[in-house]
Amino acid sequence: MSKKRNSPWLWIPSLCAAEEIPMAVVMYVALIMLMQFGASELMASFYVAMLFFPWVMKSYLYNMVRRSGSFKRNLHVVESLLFLCLMGVAVYISEAKVKVYLLFLQLLLLSCLCAWHELLSRLYYSRVLSPHQQPLFMNTKMFSSQMVLVVTYGLLIIVAGFFEVFFRSYQKAWAMESSLVAGGFLLLLVLNVIFLPSPRINDPYRPETLTHTVRKELHVLSRIQHKPHVFTVLLSLFLLLLPQSLMFNTRVFFLFASADEGGLGCSVQDVGFAQGTIGVLAFSFGITLGHYLCQKHGERPLFWPTAIVLTLSPLSYMLMAHHPQPDQMLLLCCTTFFAQFCFGFGLTACRSFVVYISEQRYRYTTNLLYVPLVASLMIVPMAMSGWVCQTLGYPLFFTLTACLAPVAWLVVAVSKTNELLLKMESKNE
């Protein structure tokens, strides 16, 4: 009975759900929440970019988390803190007056806990399953994470829109929404207490100071700095990700903006379905297809196709901005699907950059969007995107993002970054 209760088919989905639900709140739902509570496009894009900061700093905490041991117990502790933080957001939102910067600080704390939980989950997964078991359940882990994200992101926004109509108050709507999320997460916490087995390997506790951890990370960074042509590789990766970084928040602004402001004037439910459900489903499908093709054919033949596909998604938003169709929900879903599929599938091209620059540290990271290297390159353009969009207007802004794609291809081709990556990959093999 104990073996059935501790079966990976049971605890992997519940652990992935506990990882993805608060992450969806931080990375996607937070933008809409901040906008509805009064944040301008400029400040909303800045706040959401800062929510990525804990993921940039995640590698500095890795050694401390790994050396602490007791991953099962620490997972329960962090999940308890996540529940309290989600309840704290719900209680604060229900107050009469909500200050945006205080809401942002609570979401930032939630983001820090999510990054900590992701590290613990990865380490716990590697301790519970033997090396020959991990590939067997890798697809289960990926499928569970992506399906939870698809359901959570879209459902959260759609339900928030329904509550807004029902209560005729966005504040009561988000308070009820946050309470339901906290209640659902409490259920996952209970399930993880019941189902999570004890790790095969329990590392003894070996305390490590933050100063020591930072020194080790700086030593790694100094080694990376002396790699040949590392700054050229970083520039190439930055330019490939630049259109997506600029669009990460502004595509949501465009959907919500009224027709007079150049947007589509979508409701919360429309955004939840198109961006939250169809968009995230397309993104997950793109990542899965890219991962499958890499396993089947290798990364080398896929580099240029995926690098080109990665930068095609701005074309759909450029067409929507120049020829808005506010009442065509099917067209909106189709263009959103195309844009997000290109983003997910194209991230396959980033794997070679990540492996080259960070060596073995992130080689087996599945979700390429959240590795510290990629997040650190995206955070500044994300923070500035609201100001750039306000200055240029939606048609010109999305035209600019579409025109940045050929620039990235030209830099990668002229600098021979691709050849360098392939040469280093062959050397590592």
- Residue 219 resides in a domain: no
| Domain total in the chain | 2
Q: Are residues 186 and 228 in the same domain?
A: no
Inside any domain, residue 292:
yes
Residues 268 and 350 in one domain: yes
Look at residue 212 and tell me if it is in a domain.
no
174/285 same-domain check: no
Same domain, yes or no, for 420 and 274? Answer: yes
Dmax (CA) for the chain in angstroms is 63
233 shares a domain with 173: no
Residues 161 and 296 in one domain: no
Residues 336-370 as b/e (b if ≥16 CB within 10 A, e otherwise) read bbbbbbbbbbbbbbbbbbbbbbbeebbeebebbbb
Residue 202 is assigned to a structural domain of this protein:
no
CB 389 within 8 A of CB 253: yes
Note the pLDDT of residue 366. 47
In a domain, 185, yes or no: yes
Q: Which long-range contacts (CB under 8 A, 24 or more apart) does 251-254 make?
A: 251/275, 251/317, 251/339, 252/31, 252/32, 252/35, 253/35, 253/41, 253/44, 253/45, 253/386, 253/389, 254/317, 254/320, 254/321, 254/394, 254/398
Indicate the residue type of 388.
V
Q: Is 26 helix (H, G, I), strand (E, B) or coil?
A: helix
Q: 181 and 109 share a domain?
A: yes
Query: In terms of domains, do 271 and 180 share one?
Result: no
Q: Are residues 297 and 155 in the same domain?
A: no
Q: 376 Cβ partners below 8 Å, 6+ apart?
A: 56
Same domain, 419 and 317: yes
Within-domain flag for 210:
no
Q: Supply the pLDDT for residue 247.
A: 92
- Give the domain-ending residue among 152, 177, 196: 196
Instruction: Pick the last residue of a domain from 159, 177, 196.
Output: 196
Structure tokens given for 85: 């933080």
| Full residue range of the structural domain in which residue 102 is found | 1-196
The last residue of a domain, from among 181, 196, 211? 196
In a domain, 306, yes or no: yes
Domain membership flag for residue 375: yes
**pLDDT at residue number 246:** 93
Residue 365 DSSP class: -
**Inter-residue long-range contacts of 397-401, CB under 8 Å, 24+ positions, other chains counted:** 397/246, 397/250, 397/321, 398/247, 398/254, 398/314, 398/317, 398/318, 398/320, 398/321, 399/318, 399/321, 399/322, 400/246, 401/242, 401/243, 401/246, 401/247, 401/314, 401/317, 401/318
**Tens of pLDDT, residue by residue, the chain (429 residues):** 455 556 777 888 888 888 888 888 888 889 989 998 989 999 999 999 999 888 887 766 776 777 776 788 889 999 999 999 999 999 999 877 889 999 999 999 999 999 888 888 888 887 887 777 777 777 777 777 777 777 777 778 888 888 888 888 888 888 898 899 999 999 999 999 888 888 765 555 455 565 666 666 665 566 666 666 778 888 888 988 899 899 989 999 998 888 888 888 888 888 888 887 888 888 888 888 888 887 777 667 777 888 888 888 888 889 888 888 777 788 888 888 999 899 888 888 887 777 777 665 555 444 545 567 788 888 999 999 999 999 999 999 999 999 998 888 888 877 766 666 655 555 544
CATH of the domain at 257: 1.20.1250.20
Shared domain for 283 and 392, answered yes or no, is yes
